[in-house]
Structure 1
Amino acid sequence: MGWAERVVRECLGLSEGERFLVLTDPGMEELGRELFEAAEGTDRALVIIDPRETHGEEPPDHVAAMMRSSNAVAAVTSWSISHTEARRRTCEAGARVASMPGLTRDTAERAIDVDYKRLRSLSRGLAERLTEASEARLVTPAGELVIDISGREALADDGNLRDPGEFGNLPAGEAFVAPIEGSAEGHVQIDGSVAPDGILDEPIKLDYKA
């Protein structure tokens, strides 16, 4: 099973005859077509639109209408639809949405074509540990950050987008929790990359005081 089949069968759980929309743009068309081909047996459509200028910019209105009338949508686009009104309304209408902004073939084959049973077990286990914890510490050679997470419920991003209205980014494999507002104290140095700019020329240093 390849990465596209994983998305269609294991993540979205598409059934025969379901209305499936693949949204892509010219720079991502090859990957979009692979998803379209993997969804044989569904009532599938492939829509290629001009890329937006920035993440979160809305797709055209007539494309947003197609999204809302679908059972499932997979967006393999140069920009992210994750935080668009079109995506939110699509989920409110009951469609499942997988967003894969900036996906590369290497990432697809390395991080999407995985054992989802194991991924879900690890993600949910980590989420349970975060929910039970009262404090999170990020310790690095550049400093330490302490965050209060007591009473907060953590969530698992495990690639399971099978229920009506579900939304997630792929690749998956994450456990996350919202900290108590204003509780962070310590130092953070970001020396890798920051979206949407990518790899940094110089580290970004952040100081937090509770």
Structure 2
Amino acid sequence: MNVVKHIIEHCGDLKSDEWVCVLYDNSTFGVASVFLQYLEGIHANFSSYELIRTDTHGIEPPDEVAEAMKSSDLILCLTQYSLAHTQARLEATNGKSRFLSMPEYSVSLLNDPAVATDFRSRLQAVEAMTQALTNGKELYIETAAGTRMKMDISNRGGNCCPGFVNQLYRLGSPPDIEANIAPNEASTEGMLVIDGSITHELIGKLTDTVELRISKGKIDSIYSANEEICQALDKIFTRVKSDKAYYLGEVGIGLNKDAVLCGNMLIDEGSYGSLHFGFGSNYTIGGSNKVSFHLDFVLTKANMYIDGTMVIKEGEMQL
């Protein structure tokens, strides 16, 4: 309950007179019930909705739920798959709502040190990286494992996601602390060698690397010595039935020093010094690719350059 209090009050910035909307599905009721119990205990104003579990991130909720989101002050989204990259979330946070995106949450996750971290203490670092991305025109990333990739980020604003929400930052995903940007969709060229994780229940933390060759912003080929991973990725992408799923939509930098790569999406994306690459939808974070799909690939120990200046050296922030 101390951790739940930390999430609702420290991360969610809940005030006594505000309305809370809790979203979950039939696979996450266990952890959602802990949050509901806490809200009942503090006599908070809240409503809750059980959604049908989807099979990927970015699927729109029912209209009734979307309307409830817009009329709420704080949204606790505990569905198995994220609603962060949906029109419903965008409309809610463009209005008065603050949105805590907490996919893949479980009761055991509440014991992870990454969740109990002091998110507000990392704000300055996240803002510095966000500003560097906003000011940049070209992003270049390399790793010892073989990643060599460049992309155009001109006229795209960075997004500050410090893991907590307030009136300025309305989207947070504790324990994920990150700065991200949506590169121009057809600009990315090169090779991505993923050594960390692929944030889907069919894969998770990697034991074998995955190579993604990118041409004109789109995945051209996928290779791994582990054939099961290739088959899983083929199943994940082809289920979408849209080429838009293959476009690189997001590059994010993890900045939570208490997060250790483990296969959980929010911990992996937020793990300090990691980079994640989101394919599919990015129109909710400043891009133009709209599709009901988003899948993140996480790599470690990268060098990252903005307009030729190194801002990350082997996973260590240089700003």
Same fold (TM over 0.5): yes
Structure 2: runs of 5 or more not aligned: 217-319
Query: What SS does structure 1 have at the residue aligned with 2:52?
Result: coil
Q: Is residue 17–residue 41 contact of structure 1 (8 Å, CA) maintained in 2?
A: no
**How far has the Cα of 1:9 moved from its partner?**
1.0
Q: Distance in 2 between matches of 1:188 and 1:6?
A: 36
Q: Is residue 164–residue 174 contact of structure 2 (8 Å, CA) maintained in 1?
A: no
Is the 1:186–1:207 contact (alpha carbons within 8 Å) kept by the matching residues of 2?
Answer: yes
Residue of structure 1 equivalent to 2:203: 198
Q: State which drifts further: 133-142 or 22-31.
A: 133-142
Distance 2:176 2:66 in 1: 24
Please give the secondary structure, in 2, of the residue aligned with 1:205.
strand
Instruction: List per-residue Cα deviations over 1:123-156 (Å, max 9, x = no partner).
Output: 1232234445554332222322234546654332
Is 1:116 aligned to 2:119, yes or no? yes
Residue identity matched to 1:24: Y
Q: Which amino acid aligns with 1:22?
A: V
Aligned to 1:99: 101
CA separation of 1:48 and 1:85: change in aligned 2, threshold 3 A: same
Residue of structure 1 in register with 2:161 after alignment = 157
RMSD: 3.0
- Distance in 2, Cα, partners of 1:180 & 1:59: 27
Q: CA shift at 1:209, angstroms?
A: 5.9
Which residue of structure 1 aligns with residue 6 of structure 2? Answer: 6
Structure 1 residue 42 corresponds to structure 2 residue 48: no
Q: Give the letter for the 1:34 counterpart.
A: V
What is the CA–CA distance in structure 1 between the aligned matches of 2:185 and 2:64, rounded to whole Å? 39
SS of 1:111's partner is: coil
SS of the equivalent of 2:75 reads strand
Match for 2:124: what amino acid? S
Question: How many pairs align?
Answer: 210
Change (3 A) 1:201 1:96: same
AA partner of residue 33 (structure 1): S
Greater CA drift, 176-185 or 4-13: 176-185
Instruction: Please list the CA deviations of residues 1-53 of structure 1 after superposition, one character each: whole Å capped at 9, or x if unmatched.
Output: 83322221122211112111111123212221222233324212333333234
Structure 1 distance, partners of 2:215, 2:68, is: 47
Q: CA deviation at 1:190?
A: 2.0
Shift in alpha-carbon separation, 1:50–1:208, aligned structure 2, 3 A = closer
CA distance in 2, matches of 1:181, 1:85: 19
- Asked if the contact 1:94–1:165 (Cα under 8 Å) also holds between the matched residues in 2, the reply is no
Is the contact between residue 30 and residue 106 of structure 2 (CA under 8 Å) also seen in structure 1?
no
SS in 2 for 1:17: coil
Give how far 1:106 is off.
Answer: 4.5
1:117-132 equivalences under 5 Å are 117-132=120-135
What is the identity, as a one-letter code, of the residue corresponding to 2:96?
G
**Helix, strand or coil at the partner of 2:113:** helix
Report SS of the residue matched to 1:112: coil
- For the pair 1:78 / 2:80, whether they are aligned, the reply is yes
Task: Find the aligned partners of 2:173 and 2:122 in 1 and give their Cα distance.
Answer: 14
Q: Within 2, Cα distance between the matches of 1:140 and 1:206?
A: 14
1:28 and 1:106 mapped to 2: Cα distance?
12
The answer to whether the 8 Å contact 1:32/1:46 transfers is: no
Q: Alpha carbons of 1:115 and 1:145: their partners in 2 closer, same or farther (altered >3 Å)?
A: same
Give the letter aligned to residue 81 of structure 1: L
> Sequence identity, in percent?
28
CA distance in 1, matches of 2:8, 2:198: 30
Deviation at 1:115, TM superposition (A): 0.8
Paired with 1:91 and 1:117, the residues of 2 have a C-alpha distance of 20
Structure 2 counterpart of 1:170, one-letter code: P
